[in-house]
Amino acid sequence: MKVPNQQNIYCPKCDKHTEHKLKLFKAGKARALSIGTRSNIRKHKKGYGGKAKHTATVKKQNKKPAYIAECMVCSRKVYLIIPKRMKKTELVAVSR
Ligand SMILES: [Zn+2]
């Protein structure tokens, strides 16, 4: 799917719709001492193995595309996902 790299979406700081620039979202590195990381280690990597409950056996084939939208007026960043799984997406420049 082609996604326009500039979109007119709602900005919570300006409290109105403004032009936003879209960038692909990249997840940061997980902190080693956060509660989530420690509980995940406790659940999966401690003891004599066994099988933890609720672990997915089949991986999902596609991901929902996630973007960071930056307001061009106040430069506030908004996390934006398209709520649909898709194989391929590309940001396309749109002339306005
Ligand atoms: Zn704004």
CA of 67 to the centre of ligand 1 (A): 16
CA of 88 to the centre of ligand 1 (A): 29
Distance CA 95, CA 73 (A): 18
Contact 81, 65 (CB under 8 A): yes
CA of 20 to the centre of ligand 1 (A): 8
CA of 22 to the centre of ligand 1 (A): 14
Question: Tens digits of per-residue pLDDT, 39-91?
Answer: 988 888 888 878 777 888 899 999 999 999 999 999 999 999 999 999 999 99
Indicate whether 8 pLDDT > 90: yes
CA of 10 to the centre of ligand 1 (A): 8
* pTM > 0.85: no
Question: Tens digits of per-residue pLDDT, 70-79?
Answer: 999 999 999 9
Indicate whether 96 pLDDT > 70: no
SS (H, E, C) the chain: CEEECEEEEEECCCCEEEEEEEEECCCCCCCCCCHHHHHHHHHHCCCCCCCCCCCCCCCCCCECCEEEEEECCCCCEEEEECCCCECCCEEECCCC
